[in-house]
Amino acid sequence: MQDTKQQWFKEAKFGLFIHWGLYALLAGEYNGKKTDRIAEWIMNDLDIPAEEYEKLAAQFNPVEFDADGIVRKAKEWGMKYIVFTSKHHEGFAMWDSKCSDYNVVKATPYGRDIVRQFREACDRHGMKLGFYYSQAQDWHDPDGYMHRKDNSGKNYRAYLERKCFPQLRELLTEYGEVALIWFDTPMGTTREESQEMVDLVKRLQPNCIVSGRIGNGLGEYMTTGDNFIPRLPYEGDWEVPATLNDTWGFNKDDHNWKDAEEIIHLLVKINSRGGNYLLNIGPEASGHVPEESIKILDEVGKYVNENEEAIFGTKRVGIYAYELDWGMLTRKDHKLYVHVFKPRRRVELLNIGNRITGAYLVADKRPLEFETGATCEGCSSIEVEVPEEYFDRKNYSICLEMEE
Ligand code: FHN
């Protein structure tokens, strides 16, 4: 069972993923050709040679970037941590890296350290900050792995020594307390090499969590497949990395946004099974965060804030969580939270083993009338009266207090 041993991660439940790099400049299109896949993969998918792709750096000038604004928003949305792509597969470092000039400070007209700006903003707002770092795929370094390309003849070890290890060292020594390193996809990395990465992280910052995608069975929590929710409750710590549309990096043509209600239901579903939801935004090249993501997350944030006690710090419920077609359950100590997703006049639960001693509406803590009964010998049921002004409402939650 994977265990981060970090209480903050177990309680967090909702985090912000940020995918931002040079790919945002292309926004899904290069030389008139569009990618039909995730936009941050455009270099690999459209076979753009490294010497061509790296020229993008000269155009990177995100004058609208506002780290403070993004962190403030994440806080408003009820998120408890941020994971930022310090270096994605494209190989470009979003900080002032000393071991590769292919970075935002040295290679762009912007010339400012993005990672540092996030660090300072997170410190100002009391937000945990972790760094995504693509450990194996580096499409810029001649010895980094490419995807579905011929990697023979590459000296992966040389890449590790020259770029991967030194860059990890920089992130872990020059940017304060790093909540986690979000490694992504080991490819040909051996177990020993992955272990070296873990040892490096732990030596420099013992409390820094190592994500599941370090691979080789060494992650401290399970990272599910992208946008994938496990069907069975998993006992260890886990997280679902997920998108609001169909891409991580900004793609000007992707308008397939999920709506706020769907996101709320996904969040509660993941929480009811015990996981964290790491939800992505992909800023444009200017630094501007797409309006649509803000709109959706503002709406989601209202639910999260109003129902915070039914989300933050909850634990997995178990199999019963899947049986309702009108709502979902989360749990914390002796409290069972019923998230009501379809309008109803009474909230009825059958066969709950525990005795209910009280019920209240989570939004304003007002006590609710309820009746308990027996559906059969040894089984119990409960019916809670929904307040009249809630008869036509959906997306709110009720707390049932159980006998301790
Ligand atoms: O290839 C990446 C992808 O671009 C994105 O970063 C996601 C996020 O989970 N991870 C990889 C694919 O699983």
- pLDDT tens per residue across span 62-101: 999 999 999 999 999 999 999 999 999 999 999 999 999 9
Instruction: Please say which residue of 310, 335, 359 terminates a domain.
Output: 310
Q: Does the reported pTM lie above 0.90?
A: yes
Q: Which of 38, 135, 239 to mutate to test the pocket of ligand 1 (most atoms within 8 A of CB)?
A: 38
Whether 374 contacts 380, CB under 8 Å: yes
Tell whether 226 is covered by a domain: yes
**Mean pLDDT, all residues of the chain:** 95
Tell whether the model's pLDDT for residue 354 goes beyond 90: no
User: H or E stretch including 183?
Assistant: strand 180-183
Query: Distance between CA 4 and CA 14 in Å, rounded?
Result: 16
Burial pattern 145-184, b for ≥16 Cβ within 10 A else e, equals bbeeeebeebebeebbebbbbebbbbbbeebeebbbbbbb
The number of domains in the chain is 2
Rounded distance, CA 272 to CA 230, Å?
11
In the reported structure, the alpha carbon of residue 255 is separated from the centroid of ligand 1 by a whole-number distance in angstroms of 19
| Residue 330 CA, distance from chain mean position | 19
> Where would I find the beta strands (DSSP E) of 208-322?
209-210, 222-223, 238-242, 276-281
Would 290 be classed as within a structural domain?
A: yes
What are the tens digits of pLDDT across the range 104-130?
Answer: 999 999 999 999 999 999 999 999 999
**CATH code assigned at 285:** 3.20.20.80
Q: Considering the domain boundaries, does residue 1 fall inside one?
A: no
- State whether 349 and 271 are in the same domain: no
Distance 40 CA to ligand 1 centre (A): 9
Q: Are residues 306 and 323 located together in one domain of the fold?
A: no
Residue 227 CB less than 6 A away from ligand 1: no
Q: What distance in Å separates the CA atoms of residue 243 and residue 245, rounded to the nearest whole number?
A: 5
Looking at the structure, tell me whether residues 293 and 324 fall in a common domain: no
Residues 347 and 216 in one domain: no
79 belongs to a structural domain: yes
Q: Are residues 323 and 305 in the same domain?
A: no
Burial label, 350 (beta-carbon count in 10 A; 0-12, 13-18, 19+): middle
Phi then psi dihedrals of residue 137, to 5 deg: -80, 120
Cα–Cα distance for residue pair 15/9, rounded to 1 Å? 10
Span from the CA of 338 to the centroid of ligand 1 (angstroms): 33
* 127 plus 214 within the same structural domain: yes
- Are 328 and 306 found together in one domain? no
User: 252 lies in which domain range?
Assistant: 7-310
Torsion sign, CA atoms 249, 210, 309, 332: positive
List strands edge to edge, sheet with 396-402.
327-332, 335-340, 396-402, 356-361
Name 145's bridge partners. 137
Task: Tell whether 214 is covered by a domain.
Answer: yes
Q: Is residue 110 part of a domain?
A: yes
Terminal CA-CA length for the chain: 27
Rounded to an integer, what distance in angstroms lies between the CA atom of residue 355 and that of residue 373? 10
Separation of CA 184 and ligand 1 centre (Å): 7
ipTM of this predicted structure: 0.99
For residues 138 and 252, state if they share a domain.
yes
Report whether residue 239 contacts ligand 1, using a CB cutoff of 6 Å. Answer: no
Whether 301 and 325 share a structural domain? no
Structural domain ending residue among the three candidates 249, 279, 310:
310
pLDDT for residue 321: 55
In a domain, 2, yes or no: no
The continuous run of DSSP H or E covering 52 comes out as helix 50-53
Q: Could you tell me the pLDDT band of residue 169, with boundaries at 50, 70 and 90? A: very high
- Kindly state the helix (H) or strand (E) to which residue 158 belongs, with its residue range: helix 156-159
Mean pLDDT, residues 154-181: 98
Q: Are residues 103 and 28 in the same domain?
A: yes
CA-based nearest residue to 255, from 291, 288, 300 = 291
Crossing angle between the packed helical segments 114-125 and 67-76, to the nearest 10 degrees: 40
Could you say which of 285, 310, 335 is where a domain stops?
310
Residue 349 is part of a domain; what is its CATH number? 2.60.40.1180
